[in-house]
Amino acid sequence: MLLVSTTLISVTAQARVPYDSRHAPPHPVSRHATPATAAPAKATTPAAAHKPPAGIQAARGEDVSVIGGMRTANGVTNTTPGGGLMARQTLARSQSTVTRDFIAKQAPTGNAIAMISALPGVISASTDPLGQSNTAMSIRGLQQAEIGFVYEGIPLNDSINYTPYTQAMVDTDNIQSVTVAQGAPDIGAPVYNDVGGLVTVALRGPQDHRGGMVDFSFGSKSLQREYIRYDTGEIGHSGVKAFASFSSTTNDQWRGSGVFKKYHVDSKLIKNWGEGSSAGLTFSYDNWQQGNYRPVTLTQWEQYGTSFNYTKEYFPGNTNWIGLQQYQRRSTVLIAPIKLKLSRSTTLDITPAYMNYSEFYFGGVNIKNQGSYFGNQAIPDLNLPYQTNGVMTASSINPVPQKTGFLNAALTWKAGTNTFRAGYIYSYIALEEPIYYAPVGYDGGIANRYSKYMVTLPDGREYRTLDMNFKHQMNEIFIDDELKLLGGRLTLDAGLRYLMITRWATNLIPGVTHYNVGGSYSQPLPQVSASYQITPNDQIYIDGTTSYRAPASVQVYGEVFSTSSPNPASKQSSLKGEYAIGEEIGYRHYSTVNVALSLFNYNITNNQITSSQYINGIPLPSPIEAGGKTSRGAQGEIGLRPWHHWSPYVSAQYLHATTDNNIIKGNDLLPTRGKRAVQSPEFSAAVGISYDDGSVFGNFAFNYVSSQYSTIMNDEKIPGYETANITLGYRMRKLWFAEHPQFQLNVVNIGAKNYLSGFQSISTNAQPTQGIRGTTIAGSSPLYLSAGGVAAIASLSTGF
């Protein structure tokens, strides 16, 4: 029996403990590391999740693994293969999970998307190595807005543009696991954009015993971060336990000028009673402020590299001053999950939630005192202050406050080898989205951006170029049935969900094409799957799924005007929903060496490529209708269980994704049929190795991503790139009152390579192109995210 450290406990072979991603990994012995359940799905007791399928016996005499956990303050148990990157899966779909064994050893400033960048098919791009800013990711060539994100039973994505603000929802220190379903979505997932798969973030919930943890981090760009968490343990014999945490982060911007500030609170209270009943309350608050990073064209990147930034100094007319280029977001989330064991065979899960998101996008624009427009109406004289040659510099302000009411309910009934589930999901969203302007003084002073002294019209009304009121209502019902045959070796599953969405909006700007506009979307979405347990360690599976995404962005329903033109800068267009049919076939083997392989194929209609455009200094979504798309390929991962304290991991994916038809541009067609799809690297791979003997620990991760096209015509692309990160640390057992204090050093992008990591915008063609009907179609340059530079973060943490 191999011992991982002197604190490990020897138990049975890991092959006898199947891991179901719907539950946390096997329970460690540390009082600080009791895992919490992950995303909601078919109800299965934790004990059942630790047993092999009925009728399957573990191989005789097999005693090759230690899965008992080591004691740590931050939840590391050193039980997950691949250093925490390859938790065991049993569901009939391609799926990968990272656990605390990996998450706790990454930079504490990171986010859930950064944590999964080594998994097969996942491409993660960021504008800074600290992982703090908005990210841009893809899975199997499908964009971030096509991927569903779930946290504690609620959707993580922005309600309208589908951006997953993972860093605003939960601190990395409180994440128990992150699970990626690369293609097939969970039929009961409470999202309506999961064409490209599903990412589930599980909270590290209240621990069984009283205690806590503190972490202090310092690093590059004057980084300072403080984190503290307190767990009550079970209060008396009430069955009630809770935790609360607070973190504060400040640092200078990675490129150019500006600062980053973030304050975050996580907490959860849960009450357990009877055999499997519980009620809880999860609360999250986040206050995030930062200067924007300036996107670049390929020409600008080749000429200036990372020095192409917003400026530190202001002068009248300088709309690229960092003081104007800001972003702020405040999030408040309340989740109240309830689980009722109605009988031995029936369970009811209900999760109501309320989300309040307050976003502010800031930019800069020069407004003419005479010759400006309010919608399609010319303004004779705006009587602007701080004019220079008849022009005033203004701060463009785009608040996007969203209020969401949400309900997720499911009833599960078990009868012998059959499990039936039925559910209902509801959400209601309300937001008012204006764009207005505040004068900028000669010295750069900006009037109150949130209330008074805005630019006004001659009649006293506030001057706006967007004035939208938006409502959204979703109803979804689903049924699902799972049948186990052949002594539990064969599992068959079939389900159907029916999605119904209604949206309506009004825009008060004069000259809009439609004052009142909206859309209704409904779609039945069947799924089928089958898996067969060949041996206790070997499984094959196949699945067929359908998925759907309603159009992204309120700009689909409303038009935004420029200050300098009577015509809309963005035209309202009624887009259809995106629909996909997918198939997967896969094989898994779990033993000393763990292997997962799969082949996949997707056919997508009404493919909508997420892009953006700048209007009056504000980045606004601008979807591109790209018709049909085919995506097929192969992926795999290999991970070793801890062996002499070492755990290597390798993942890779080959992808062939193409555009299936020519794209309409004006009165012509671009010859895009058969072109490689944008943001779809042909090859990606990751290599990692982890070491942990209970005291000394560390890991190394290397990622490679091949080139990616940024235009549908394939006339511009970003080159392939490599990144590498390293972690080194030392952990003690006990020092006075400190439980397992440790020092950790994270070095991100150790090669300090500067590279283009992703896309701010996509275009149909970068160069002038002759259409099929002979018209010369003008090109437009895509905008890219610039990354690079080495970051070092030193952390001192301890439990108490």
Q: What is the CATH number of the domain that holds 628?
A: 2.40.170.20
Tell me: pLDDT of 37 over 50: no
Could you tell me if residue 68 is inside a domain?
no
Could you tell me if residue 66 is inside a domain?
no
- Amino acid symbol at 725: N
Q: What is the pLDDT of residue 430?
A: 93
Tell me: pLDDT of 2 over 80: no
- Please tell me the distance from the alpha carbon of residue 603 to that of residue 470, in angstroms, as a whole number: 32
Q: What is the pLDDT of residue 467?
A: 94
Residue 214: strand, helix, or coil: strand
User: How many domains does the chain fold into?
Assistant: 1
Kindly report the backbone phi and psi dihedral angles of residue 506, in degrees, each rounded to the nearest multiple of 5, phi listed first: -125, 150
Q: What is the pLDDT of residue 254?
A: 86
The model carries a pTM of 0.88
Q: What are the pLDDT digits (tens) for 625-657?
A: 888 999 999 999 999 999 999 999 999 999 999
Cβ count within 10 A of residue 737:
9
Could you tell me if residue 271 is inside a domain?
yes
Q: What is the pLDDT of residue 53?
A: 37
Could you tell me if residue 689 is inside a domain?
yes
Q: What is the pLDDT of residue 16?
A: 30
Could you tell me if residue 320 is inside a domain?
yes
Segment among 130-134, 401-405, 494-498, 598-602 with least mean pLDDT: 130-134
Q: What are the pLDDT digits (tens) for 768-785?
A: 999 999 999 999 999 999
Q: What is the pLDDT of residue 54?
A: 36
- Please tell me the distance from the alpha carbon of residue 590 to that of residue 536, in angstroms, as a whole number: 8
CA 355 to chain centroid: 17
Q: Average pLDDT of the chain?
A: 87
The mean pLDDT of 322-346, rounded to a whole number, is 95
Q: In which band, very low, low, confident or very high, does the pLDDT at 214 lie, cut at 50, 70 and 90?
A: very high
Kindly report the backbone phi and psi dihedral angles of residue 298, in degrees, each rounded to the nearest multiple of 5, phi listed first: -65, -40
Tell me: pLDDT of 725 over 50: yes
Nearest to 90 by CA among 195, 179, 192, 204: 179
Q: What are the pLDDT digits (tens) for 728-770?
A: 999 998 888 888 999 999 999 987 778 998 899 999 999 999 9
Q: How many CA atoms lie within 13 A of 403 on its CB side?
A: 4
Tell me which residue range forms the domain holding 565. Answer: 76-799
- Please tell me the distance from the alpha carbon of residue 212 to that of residue 720, in angstroms, as a whole number: 43
DSSP string, 505-567: EEE-STT-S-SEEEEEEEEEEEEEEEEEEEETTEEEEEEEEEEEEPPPSGGGT--EE-TT-SS
Nearest to 547 by CA among 200, 199, 144, 187: 187
Q: Which residue has the higher pLDDT, 711 or 513?
A: 711
Kindly report the backbone phi and psi dihedral angles of residue 107, in degrees, each rounded to the nearest multiple of 5, phi listed first: -60, 130
Q: In which band, very low, low, confident or very high, does the pLDDT at 183 lie, cut at 50, 70 and 90?
A: confident
Number of helices and strands (H, E) in the chain?
A: 6, 48
Could you tell me if residue 699 is inside a domain?
yes
**Residue 119: partners with Cβ closer than 8 Å, 6 or more residues away:** 85, 96, 98, 180, 182, 637, 651, 686
Beta bridge partners of 436: 397, 464
Q: In which band, very low, low, confident or very high, does the pLDDT at 452 lie, cut at 50, 70 and 90?
A: low
Going from the C-alpha of 682 to that of each of 415, 449, 729, the distances in angstroms are: 46, 45, 36
The mean pLDDT of 585-608, rounded to a whole number, is 95
Tell me: pLDDT of 23 over 80: no
Tell me: pLDDT of 486 over 70: yes
Q: What is the pLDDT of residue 26?
A: 35
Could you tell me if residue 37 is inside a domain?
no
Residues 659 and 765 sit within 8 Å (Cβ to Cβ): no
